[in-house]
A and B are shown apart, each in its own frame.
Chain A
């Protein structure tokens, strides 16, 4: 543990202590801090190849419940978003089917509600190459 880190409000009277809890102070109340990650594109058959993508999956460790969404992205087009909610402390394995053909795929994960620690353990994208870039 090092020192303390504080923010002073430029337009307000409050001094805020950083790096604590799972919510952050807003001008009116508080809001949860949400993880938002997106992978780089996966191009298993090269930049102009053809693949059939099967699903994206995420593995998270949570200490006290979570809601999150997982969105497959194929050729930069968002696919059907899947929402998940679990309670308690556990490892969550969630997947979203894709079944789209394309050259590249990515996954986007956004937590939408949390009351404890969240650790992103893994994101996986699966599919099969049909035609490789010449």
Chain B
């Protein structure tokens, strides 16, 4: 492994491998052989608008590659319409209904798929020959036919798919659609326009070759399982992986192979493991990765599904509605990512590294980590169904106000493991907040840096736990302050160091050794001057101290050797040119030389 493995533990365990080094790692990734780096973030690629651009959609329900482009589907609860969008493959621009490329990032639809749709639908898109078939997962049930299958033809034509099964042309309804071997496959619909008999959730039906008409009967249809219309054998998802079309029921999995309508054959693979939902499976390098009611699994060819839940049993148990799991393959990271959208917020709760064959998943209350994997990767956001902070921070005060820094202080409302405190600041009267940073568990202060001199600021703070924020403390009187004037003469109000401590290090280093450390205040290019007085049983006067050394910027420790037995006193301050900060409070250390 990489250099990170060297000397992770000093001394006795030099041979420790990476697997023994880290209990958890959040928001990190490997680069190269073993470089452990902070992972990247994300950015807004495109914002979906309703027709005319008057407002945003309220939900993005699908994004896929399509030919040399990308397609997306959005829904608006304002218009109750479902829209289709087309982009460049890298989402650097979008196409209008006339096919003209627009370079801005506020996309308008190429057309409306369905109207009078009051809730965001789950949709599936099957790619044909420069055509796309879009199915609404709530298109029909035992009592109603609502949202027929649509066909999109570039640049801006959207039409309802129809078929004649011998009793006249009827609209085609489908709970889902998938493309396999030049045939369109749909499920959930039989050859009638009567709701009660059209609804066949166990029925799979395919088109004539090359995405021609839906086949009427016989070789054009398959029944999955034997319990007609049972929830157990209703088709949830159809997906192609390798050479196989996999059809998943809630508790069953079937494989279909063949090259034409007379050669298609089905084979049951499991009556236990299925695909929990429409989006609960994806293909990665020819292998199907899915999420069943028993948890994650993978399958290739005609083999039995290989269940993967043993690596993350707590995670599987935390998923209350597995039908809402979304699986996606991140090619950049070679990971299958599982998302859970129970509260309307995207949450990646676990990933499977397909090259290392390991899970990257939540670490109990800590958040997403590597507890179950011993490996590290980019994983994002908070785990599912974990606790928020128990209360907000309180009692704001501001101290050590310098020309460019100030220290925000608070009392904690939650000091449990995994709780941090995020601090933001702004110029008084401004609307936007800037991030000052995040303080660790149980910390009660944070130094805000990068301020301008002689300026009125205010800060606010909130606890952060499991990706959830508490209420903010501030802005209140105690979190408002004005930075000091800046100058060049002696006595300029530089912010002093904090947290000076000194210890007898005779045991470790030798006779008379005193180890001290402090926290730098963040003053740019500020050195730290150390002064000493003693030996003295009582606190010496300021004039009794003498400088012993000045440490270069960013250093925060020093070892001194005292010449005689007694109690020795130390103070430190920042210096920069002729400027200096105040001294810290004196600390003492009794020594025997």
A interface list, Cβ under 8 A from B: 1-25, 27, 29-42, 44, 52, 54, 67, 69, 71, 78, 80-87, 92, 94-97, 99, 106, 108, 110-114, 117-129
Contact = CB atoms under 8 A, between A and B. Distances in A.
A69 B331 CA distance: 33
Nearest to A59: B7
A13 B449 contact: no
Given A21-B41, A114-B38, 19 more contacts: A4-B91, A10-B120, A13-B56, A15-B47, A22-B41, A23-B41, A32-B435, A34-B27, A36-B367, A38-B22, A38-B366, A39-B23, A41-B23, A71-B441, A81-B440, A82-B517, A119-B35, A119-B37, A126-B10
A112 B438 contact: yes
Interface residues of B, number: 94
Nearest to A129: B12
9 closest A-B pairs by beta carbon, nearest first, are: A8-B60, A2-B331, A13-B56, A11-B344, A24-B41, A112-B437, A17-B45, A113-B437, A35-B38
Nearest to A57: B10
Given A2-B331, A81-B443, A38 B23 contact: yes
A33 B40 contact: yes
A46 B36 CA distance: 28
Nearest to B29: A19
B332 A5 contact: yes
B345 A11 contact: yes
A22 B393 CA distance: 27
A18 to B, nearest CB: 5
Contact of A27 (B12, B56, B345): B345
B447 A17 contact: no
Contacts of B339: 7
Contacts of A35: 25-28, 38-39
B161 interface: no
29 contacts: A10-B120, A10-B341, A13-B47, A14-B45, A15-B91, A16-B45, A17-B44, A18-B332, A19-B330, A21-B40, A21-B43, A22-B38, A31-B422, A36-B24, A39-B23, A40-B21, A42-B13, A44-B12, A44-B13, A67-B449, A80-B499, A97-B501, A97-B557, A110-B420, A113-B438, A119-B37, A121-B4, A122-B3, A124-B9
B9 A125 contact: yes
Contact of B10 (A31, A99, A112, A124): A124
A4 B89 contact: yes
Contacts of A129: 12
Interface stretch (B127-135, B518-526, B527-535): B518-526
A17 B91 contact: yes
Contacts of A128: 508
Given A24-B380, A34-B27, A82 B519 contact: yes
B46 A106 contact: no
Given A37-B28, A124-B10, A113 B556 contact: no
B61 interface: yes
Interface in B34-83: 35-49, 56-63, 65, 70, 72, 74
Contacts, number: 254
Nearest to A13: B56
A69 B37 contact: no
Contacts of B8: 39, 122-124
Contact of B328 (A5, A29, A71, A113): A5
A13 B49 CA distance: 7
A126 B46 contact: no
Contacts of B499: 80, 82
A40 B58 contact: no
Given A12-B60, A34-B27, A126-B11, A117 B37 contact: yes
B384 to A, nearest CB: 14
A10 to B, nearest CB: 4
Contact of B437 (A11, A37, A67): A67
B58 A11 contact: yes
A39 B376 CA distance: 13
A12 B47 CA distance: 9
Contact of B43 (A16, A32, A112): A16
A63 B372 CA distance: 31
Contacts of B380: 24, 33
Nearest to A95: B557
Given A34-B438, A67-B437, A6 B40 contact: no
Given A38-B22, A122-B7, A10 B345 contact: yes
Given A9-B59, A15-B63, A33-B39, A38 B24 contact: yes
B26 A36 contact: yes
B346 interface: yes
A82 B501 CA distance: 11
Nearest to B337: A5
Contacts of A40: 20-23
B424 to A, nearest CB: 10
A86 B40 contact: no
Contacts of B520: 84-85
A23 B271 CA distance: 44
Best-surrounded residue of A13, A112, A113 (most CB of chain B within 10 A): A13
A36 B217 CA distance: 58
B90 interface: yes
Nearest to A92: B554
